[in-house]
Amino acid sequence: MAFNNAGRFQPFEQKVWLSSPTMHGEEMEYVREAYQTNWMSTVGENIDRIETLAREKSGCKHAVALSAGTAALHMAMKLAGQELYGQPSVGYGALEGKRVFASDLTFDATVNPIIYENGIPVFIDTEEDTWNMDPVALEKAFEIYPEVKLVVMAHLYGTPGKMNELNAVCERHKAIIVEDAAESLGATYKGKQTGSFGKYNCISYNGNKIITGSAGGMLLTDSVEAANKVRKWSTQAREAAPWYQHEELGYNYRMSNVIAGVVRGQYPYLEEHIALKKAIYERYKEGLKDLPVRMNPYDTENSEPNFWLSCLFIDKDAMCKQIRGETDVCYVKEAGKSCPTEILEALAFINAEGRPIWKPMHMQPIYRMNGFITRGGNGRAMTNAYMEGSVTDVSMDIFNRGFCLPSDNKMTTGQQDMIINVIRACFE
């Protein structure tokens, strides 16, 4: 333990989590209803109800409840691929050999479904204002790969991206947007809910999200044809026949009525959870305001995040030396400076959970041969301009200097005050 102030702080008796489920009681009533009525499979009142709630909240005309946000993204890739390139032969993906532009700074669940349909991800660098896909870099990507017709963008940590600008770029190039709103349920951009800007949109009810079913996701669209296709594909693509007839590849992706019961009980508390998360963000911002750090940013004029995770970004001049390998990291403590690794170790010492920013997709071993586009063009080309810093890899910089703070909405103000003091001690 390199935390030099360990003796000043006593660990919490109970762990303060990054973001754990907050349950209220109604969830169990709906689960019990599924049990008592024997609707335990992939049909039932709970599923019907949460699809209605998702439609009403998002403003989309149709919603399909699925087993995970990743399943929803996979179905969105399949829908978009068939719309753009036609029905593939059995054994071939809907994106077979086609490049797809994708957010670089995100969890890999945003990107993996492209591979499921045999597409080729090309990663688009991040902009500094919201930590989301950069519209300028996206325009540059279309100059390099003008044949691309599909863009998958994620709203990082519950903060909306610049959807008007991104949509304008896509419209100029006649491309479809798939919106990964897994982390941003309840967040708005210009008064409109995230998860409603794309042709196909996806949200998540994973255990650590703003509301949860312990698992589960939702595909959102204005197309009844698309919704019906996903309902069919997600239940093994069975045809309307008295026996099991299959003419397309199917999946076991439908949400269970039991999981839907938990989600149903959570929906009434969405706004309450967002308010609690925002209060956490604001307390961090106030408590750390005189340190050489910044909170994860958002467009205060046009967007309202759901504040799912509060993050901190250390000023470049206040970073001590930190080197990361593939699975390990080391740093050198310097007076008046710190780094994500030191602070995360200090938080772990007091029994509080933080974590690094998502490692960008273009830095992941599995995707290192894929294209990566910055504002300056090909981010893989290590030109003199790149080395001199005139071409910036924003995603890598945020990963190197940023980290996620404990953001559990059950954290007390006293616990958060101690976390703030521990962070302050790291800069002494």
Domain membership flag for residue 166:
yes
Write down the pLDDT at residue 7. Answer: 75
pLDDT at 90: 85
pLDDT confidence of residue 5: 75
- Lowest-pLDDT choice from 181-185, 197-201, 378-382: 378-382
Mean pLDDT over 13-30 rounds to 97
Q: Is the pLDDT of residue 383 over 60?
A: no
Residue 379: per-residue pLDDT: 85
Do residues 38 and 162 both lie within one domain? yes
Tell me, yes or no, whether 219 and 304 share the same domain. Answer: no
Does 249 fall in a domain? Answer: yes
For residues 130 and 43, state if they share a domain.
Answer: yes
Residue 422 lies in a domain: yes
Per-residue pLDDT at 367: 97
Whether residue 91 has pLDDT greater than 90? no
Judge if 326 and 363 occupy the same domain.
yes
Using the predicted structure, report yes or no on whether residue 288 has a pLDDT greater than 50.
yes
At residue 386, the pLDDT reads 44
Per the prediction, the chain carries an average pLDDT of 95
* Single-letter amino acid code for the residue at 119: G
Q: How confident is the model at residue 8 (pLDDT cuts 50, 70, 90)?
A: confident
Cβ atoms of 223 and 171 within 8 Å: the answer is no
Same domain, 108 and 198: yes
Q: Above 70 in pLDDT, residue 289?
A: yes
Instruction: Please tell me whether residues 326 and 198 are part of one structural domain.
Output: no
- Picking from 135, 116, 115, 113, the residue whose alpha carbon sits closest to that of residue 124 is 135
Q: Find the CATH number of the domain harbouring 109.
A: 3.40.640.10
CATH of the domain at 285: 3.90.1150.10
Q: Kindly indicate the confidence band of residue 342, based on its pLDDT and cuts at 50, 70 and 90.
A: very high
Say if residue 104 is in the same domain as residue 215: yes
The per-residue pLDDT for range 47-79, each reduced to its tens digit, is: 999 999 999 999 999 999 999 999 999 999 999
**Chosen domain end from 238, 269, 300:** 269
Look at residue 1 and tell me if it is in a domain.
no
Rounded to whole angstroms, how far apart are CA atoms 359 and 381? 20
d(CA 62, CA 45): 17
- Residue 214, classed as helix, strand or coil, is strand
pLDDT the model gives residue 3:
66
136-180 residue pLDDT tens: 999 999 999 999 999 999 999 999 999 999 999 999 999 999 999
Beta strands in 333-384 (DSSP E): 355-356, 372-374, 377-378
Same domain as 296, residue 179: no
**Are both 161 and 218 inside the same structural domain?**
yes
Query: CA 408, CA 139: separation in Å to the nearest integer?
Result: 37
Does residue 371 belong to any structural domain of this protein?
Answer: yes
Please say which residue of 269, 287, 316 terminates a domain.
269
Tens-digit pLDDT profile for residues 102-149: 999 999 999 999 999 999 999 999 999 999 999 999 999 999 999 999
Choosing from 269, 285, 317, the residue where a domain stops is 269
Taking only the tens place, the pLDDT of each residue in 241-278 is: 999 999 999 999 999 999 999 999 999 999 999 999 99
The confidence score (pLDDT) of residue 415 equals 98
The residue among 82, 168, 160 whose CA lies nearest residue 119 is 82
**Which of 133, 93, 147 lies closest to 115 in space, CA to CA?**
93
Kindly state whether residues 238 and 301 are assigned to the same domain.
Answer: no
Prediction pTM value: 0.95
Calpha distance 133→131 (Å, rounded)? 7
Do 149 and 286 fall into the same domain?
no
Phi, psi of 377 (to 5 degrees): 120, -135
Instruction: Convert 75-113 to b/e letters by CB count within 10 Å (16 or more is b).
Output: bbbbbbbbbbbeebeeeebbbeebbbbbbbbbbbbbbbb
| More reliable by pLDDT, 36 or 3 | 36
d(CA 358, CA 396): 10
**If you average pLDDT over residues 306-327, what whole number do you get?**
97
> What whole-number distance in Å separates Cα of residue 248 and Cα of residue 87?
10
47 falls within a domain: yes
- Residue span of the structural domain in which 417 resides: 6-21+270-426
Q: Is 34 a domain residue?
A: yes
Task: Using pLDDT thresholds of 50, 70 and 90, give the confidence band for residue 385.
Answer: very low
209 is catalytic: yes
Catalytic residue among 209, 229, 277, 337, which?
209
How many domains is the chain partitioned into structurally? 2
Is 123 part of any domain?
A: yes
Same domain, 380 and 293: yes
Closest CA to 424 of 278, 314, 282, 329: 314
* The two structure tokens encoding residue 15: 């762990």
